[in-house]
Amino acid sequence: MSEKEKMSEGKLYDPLDSELINERVKCKLLCQEYNNIKYDDIEKREDILKQILGKTKEKFFVEQPFICDYGYNIEIGEKFYSNHNLTILDCAKVTFGDNVLVGPNCAFYTAEHPLDAETRNKGFEYARPITIGNNVWIGGGVNILSGITVGNNVVIAAGAVVTKDIPSNVVIAGVPAKIIKRI
């Protein structure tokens, strides 16, 4: 089994595998190109994003700068908007529903390192997917950790760190994020 297959199945894998390194380099070069496109060249920006991302719908907008690891593991829904400095470590799938708003300086981390120091020191990691539902507003500076599912109609307050699944129709805030209101 290849390291890429292990990664996609959530198993321990070596991120320094040459195939994975080459895929990250390709993606990061596209991200660099995207981030250097003139702001008003919307058509070229959309074209490059479609080359980076695994799946898009018709209407979306990602402010520059944007960075991700592989790109092909990211799917964005209709009317997706992200403000500046979006970081997605997409070693596993990251799926955004429709009508998702992402504030500035947000990060989505699918990669994890083993708790066991001996295994971690060998350079292995694993990844778990992140799923964001429909009609979700993610405030600025939010971090969402691996393996998280966020339901529909959720508001995540600025600065929150999401460490566990979030049900639909709630407002969450804090570190770690907790439900503060039902909507």
CATH number reported for the structural domain that contains residue 159 in this entry: 2.160.10.10
Question: In the prediction, which pLDDT does 115 show?
Answer: 95
Q: Would you call 58 exposed, middle or buried from its count of C-beta atoms within 10 A (0-12, 13-18, 19+)? A: exposed
Annotated catalytic residue within 4, 26, 79, 113: 113
Its domain, for residue 45, covers 3-182
* Distance of alpha carbon 51 from alpha carbon 30, whole angstroms: 8
- pLDDT tens profile 9-58: 999 999 999 999 999 999 999 999 999 999 999 999 999 999 999 999 99
172 — pLDDT class (breaks 50, 70, 90): very high
Question: In the prediction, which pLDDT does 153 show?
Answer: 98
Question: In the prediction, which pLDDT does 66 show?
Answer: 98
Number of domains in the chain: 1
Percent of the chain with pLDDT over 70: 100
Question: In the prediction, which pLDDT does 41 show?
Answer: 97
Could you count the other beta carbons within 10 Å of the beta carbon of residue 142?
23
Percent of the chain with pLDDT over 90: 100
Q: Please compute, for residue 61, the number of CA atoms within 13 A of its CA located in the half-sphere on the CB side.
A: 13
* Distance of alpha carbon 129 from alpha carbon 41, whole angstroms: 32
84 is catalytic: no
